[in-house]
Each structure stands twice: as structure tokens, then as C-alpha cells.
Amino acid sequence: MEGRSTPKEPNFNFTKKIMDSGGDTLNLCIQCGTCTGSCPSSKITALRTRKLIRKAQLGLEDEIFSTDDLWQCTTCYRCYERCPRGVDVPSIIIILRNMAVKRGDLAEAHQKNAGYIINTGHIIPFGKKQEAMRKKVGLDPTPPTTLSSEKALKEVKAIVKKTGFDKLITGSDKSIKNEESNEK
Amino acid sequence: MRNKAKYGLYLGCIAPLRYPGIESSTREVLKKLGIDFIDLEGVSCCPAPGVVRSFDIETWLALGARNLSIAEEKRVEMLTICNGCFDSLYESACSLDDEKTRKRVNDILVSAGVREYQGTTKVRHEVEVLYNEVGLEKIRSLVVNKLDLKVAVHYGCHFLSPSKYKKIDDPERPTILDDLVEATNAKSVSYRDKQACCGAGGGVRARLPQVALAMTEEKLKNITEAKADCIVTPCPFCHLQFDRGQKEMNYKYTIPVLHISQLLGLAFGINKEKLGFESHYVPVKLPARQWEER
């Protein structure tokens, strides 16, 4: 039939995987579309929350992972706040993102953020410029966080090693440098 | 002597590393209000819910549990000054209420040589502590500069949502932050789609910056229409998105952005230097009458 897509075979094993990973509200969705109507991202992107949830219900794995839709969500929770069925959409999206990352879909900017955490305990870099800014407002140049304690940073590094996060993020051959930030 | 402080100040990343004025204002404001707090030494990023949680929930929980365990050891409640930190730590604490999850995460902590988390830490947001524990009356009594400002209040998403767990205020029609702002004599103006997201969350700012900016611009347009003098947020990440976002739009808009701690600091007459407006991209030019030098 012209203009219509070919019917897809559902894959309920994949659906079950999402639900077993904490997305157990997935099958409560009745496709009313309140989520899409409430989504600030949908005004400017191709993300259609209702459709994404339908694809997840049917386990249409390839369709879910073949676009950037999953990453257009700011996790603002409007959909969850308004859903008449209590579907925890943001959590389902996060579970799907975890799966996408395992498949190798990790933006370079995100890889950097994660690298900063592994190297410093913080998600953004810190350098001389920022130290000076802190001094100007009367603060210690270095905040009393992992940046001030080798022992604390060691703990963070041990945790990410234990969970495999370091490998997940760096992949096989990409190394992350801890660049000093020149930003204000 | 056992410390008597009730709170441990949790700094996060954006405030101490990009807008130190938010950190110093917070410290000054808490002191003025007589709130006893300690630093939570050795904490890391919360870790950021939009990115780390999106990549690996288990790592997010384990790093969160480590931060929670630092407050637990000091027997203090965690006082957060950022919606992202609040959300991340609050939600990890909720997940870790479940004994099975806690056991699993503690196994990771122990094998990494970190203390276990027993599940007792309370996670609080500055705005809610000021409103519920200090109260508007006391805040009003400390105002020495009655602010004559029209403020566009931006709540940010993760202060109130998911409301099912947080139960702080109505996420669609909240008043808690407006009330706090108005305690300084400033006026909170209403504007179109006030509860809309700034655009930065969920890792969107890093991965799809143009999408984030388009959402920010929508807000800036609506705030401009309401003729606000400034934006006030309880979240350094929203703050960053509005401040740097305007730079990234080549200053098509120039609306100053203040964290609630900076606004209160201004009203409490705290030294201008400590408010740290210098690290903002959009100059904090407010109607002259706020600026009686002291």
C-alpha cells in the first residue's frame, strides 16, 4: 500500500528487557498522546514521545536506536507529571539510553563529560582561571571536593573501574585527556 | 565534640567551578540566616543525572551512594543548591531505600574500598529549606536592600519533578520560589510557559546544543515580553544555560541571570564582591536603585 509503512514484527523479548530494567510502567500506556503534547522538545525536534513509547511497547529495537530521538529529551518530566496512566517516560528513556550507549552510541561531548568525572570527580574541567575566580569571591582556590582529596578521587576511580564505566566510556582505543578549561 | 550542624553543604560542579559567586553567596546567606552547616569533604559530582545516569544507571547509583555516605557519616542532611544535584541525590536515595538495591550497590562500594551507605541520608534543596525551615518572616526581617525589581522566576524542572517523590509544591503551578523572591520586596512577574524547561537538561546541552538553545530562546522571548529586569533560578545549570545561552546567541538578549542565593545576598546587603557577578557573561546590570554602594 503506497504511503504506508510495512507492518513490523513485534519483539516482546526486548519489551520485557526494558520492563525488567525498571521500566515496568511501560505497558500501562494507552497512547493518548498527552506526553507528546506536553513535550517542549517535540516543538522543535522529531521526538514524538507517544510514538517512542509505542515502539518500546512493541520492542522495535532497530527503529528506536536508528535515530537521535532518545537524546532529544531534556528529562523535564512534563510527560510523567501529566500522564494519566503513570507511565514513567523519563526513566524508560534513560533505560533505552543505557542500552544505546552499550551499543556504542555515545556523543563525543558526553564522552568528555564522563572522562572528566573519571579523572577529577567533576563533570567539567577545572584550572587556574577558575581558581582565580574563586579567590576573587573570597573562596578557597580549590573546593573541598575530590579536587582537594587524593583519597576521595581514588575512591571514585575505584568505583568506576568496578562498574566498568571507564571501559564503557573510553571504548577500545579512545583516550580522554583532562584538558584544562579556558572558559570563564 | 560532635558537630551540631544540621546540614552538609553539597556544592556540585557548576556552582564551585563556573559560578563561584553562587557558592560564596550561599555561604553568606546561610550564615546570615543562622543555619549551621559543614562542608562535605571529598564529595564528587552528584553525578549528573542527564549524562551519567543516561550512560549507566549502576555507576550513577554507586557514585551517588558514595556521596550520600559522606553525609551519613557526618550525620547531616545534604543541602543542595542545584536542581541537578538535588534530583540526582534525591532519586538515588529513593532507589537505595530498597534493601536489595542498596545491598547490590554496597557490594560495589565495599569492593572499591569505600564505606557502605546505610540508607539514612536526607537530601534537601536550599529553596525548600529556606521556605520550610527558616520561613519567610525571618527572611523578610533580614532584608536591608528592599529590591525594586521585576523578576522572571524560573523554577527549573528537577526542583519539583518528579513530584510523586519530591512532594514540595505543585509542579504545574508552584509558588514556593515566587514567595521567596517576593520576600525581598521584588515582584515576580508572570510570563508565558513559565514552567517550561531551560533546554539544558538530560545531556541535551552537550550533545545537541542547538536544540537546547532553541528551547532557551523560547523562554527568553517570553521573559522579554514580560519586561522582567532579571531571571532568578534555584539551579546553577539553568543559570548557566540562560547566561551562556545569551552569549551563544550573540547577546541578542541581555537579561541578567541570578541564582536565588545571589538575589537574597543582594537583599541582605552582602558585599558585592562575594555575589560574584563578574563570572557571569551577561552583565548583571539592574535598575540603578538596587546598587547603593555601602
- Residue B146 and residue B270 in one domain: yes
| A75 vs B11, B50, B59: nearest CB | B50
- Residue B141 and residue B272 in one domain: yes
Contact residues on chain A for B112, CB-CB shorter than 8 A: 155, 158-159, 161-162
Whether residue B294 is predicted with pLDDT greater than 50 in this model: the reply is: no
Tell me whether residue B291 is in a domain. no
Q: What is the chain B residue with the closest CA to A103?
A: B55
- Residue B175 and residue B238 in one domain: yes
- Alpha-carbon span B16 to B246, nearest angstrom: 21
pLDDT, tens digit (0-9, with 9 covering 90-100), for A121-140: 999 999 999 999 999 999 99
Tell me whether residue B69 is in a domain. yes
Q: Do B18 and A40 touch (CB under 8 A)?
A: no
Domain boundary among B100, B125, B150: B125
Interface of A with B in 81-110 (CB under 8 A): 81, 88, 90, 94-95, 97-98, 101, 106-107, 109-110
Rounded to 5 degrees, what are φ and ψ at B231?
A: -105, 140
- Alpha-carbon span B179 to B173, nearest angstrom: 13
Contact residues on chain A for B21, CB-CB shorter than 8 A: 137
Alpha helices in chain B (DSSP H): 14-18, 20-32, 52-55, 57-74, 83-96, 99-111, 126-129, 136-141, 163-166, 176-182, 204-207, 209-225, 236-248, 260-267, 272-275
CA distance B288 to chain A (A): 22
Structure confidence at residue A173 (pLDDT): 39
Q: Is A132 on the interface with B (CB under 8 A)?
A: no
pTM value > 0.90: yes
Q: What percent of chain B has pLDDT over 90?
A: 96
- Residue B275 and residue B159 in one domain: yes
Domain hosting B196: range is 137-279
- Alpha-carbon span B74 to B39, nearest angstrom: 10
Sign of CA dihedral A97, A98, A102, A104: positive
In 3D space, the residue among B155, B166, B157, B174 whose CA is nearest the CA of residue B91 turns out to be B166
Domain boundary among B97, B125, B153: B125
Q: Do B20 and A161 touch (CB under 8 A)?
A: no
Whether residue A172 is predicted with pLDDT greater than 90 in this model: the reply is: no
pLDDT, tens digit (0-9, with 9 covering 90-100), for A79-90: 999 999 999 999
In 3D space, the residue among A108, A122, A118, A136 whose CA is nearest the CA of residue A181 turns out to be A122
- Residue B52 and residue B73 in one domain: yes
- Residue B52 and residue B111 in one domain: yes
Tell me whether residue B72 is in a domain. yes
Q: Is A149 on the interface with B (CB under 8 A)?
A: yes
Contact residues on chain B for A43, CB-CB shorter than 8 A: 218
Contact residues on chain B for A151, CB-CB shorter than 8 A: 42
* Over residues A87-108, mean pLDDT: 97
**Angle value at C-alpha B43, between B42 and B47, nearest 5 degrees:** 150
- Residue B150 and residue B214 in one domain: yes
Q: What is the chain A residue with the closest CA to B106?
A: A159
Structure confidence at residue A184 (pLDDT): 59
Structure confidence at residue A175 (pLDDT): 47
- Residue B152 and residue B201 in one domain: yes
Q: How many A×B Cβ pairs under 8 Å?
A: 224
User: Counting Cβ atoms within 10 Å, is residue A62 exposed (0-12), middle (13-18) or buried (19+)?
Assistant: exposed
Contact residues on chain B for A85, CB-CB shorter than 8 A: none
- Alpha-carbon span B207 to A105, nearest angstrom: 11
Tell me whether residue B288 is in a domain. no
The CATH number of whichever domain residue B33 belongs to comes to 1.20.1050.140
pLDDT, tens digit (0-9, with 9 covering 90-100), for A33-63: 999 999 999 999 999 999 999 999 999 999 9
CA distance A120 to chain B (A): 8
Tell me whether residue B152 is in a domain. yes
pLDDT, tens digit (0-9, with 9 covering 90-100), for B4-55: 899 999 999 999 999 999 999 999 999 999 999 999 999 999 999 999 999 9
What residue ranges of chain A are covered by domains with CATH 1.10.1060.10? Answer: 12-103
Confidence class for position A6, pLDDT limits 50, 70, 90? confident
Q: Do B55 and A123 touch (CB under 8 A)?
A: no
Interface of B with A in 65-124 (CB under 8 A): 66, 108-109, 111-114
Contact residues on chain A for B163, CB-CB shorter than 8 A: 81
Tell me what the pLDDT averaged over chain B comes to: 96
DSSP-derived 3-state class of residue B81: coil
The CATH number of whichever domain residue B153 belongs to comes to 3.40.50.11810
* Superfamily of domain A12-103, CATH level 4: Alpha-helical ferredoxin (1.10.1060.10)
- Residue B58 and residue B188 in one domain: no
CA distance B93 to chain A (A): 16
Domain boundary among B125, B147, B165: B125
DSSP state of B191: -
| A98 vs B50, B57, B212: nearest CB | B57
- Residue B254 and residue B159 in one domain: yes
| B55 vs A45, A75, A101: nearest CB | A101
- Residue B77 and residue B99 in one domain: yes
- Residue B87 and residue B30 in one domain: yes
pLDDT, tens digit (0-9, with 9 covering 90-100), for B103-155: 999 999 999 999 999 999 999 999 999 999 999 999 999 999 999 999 999 99
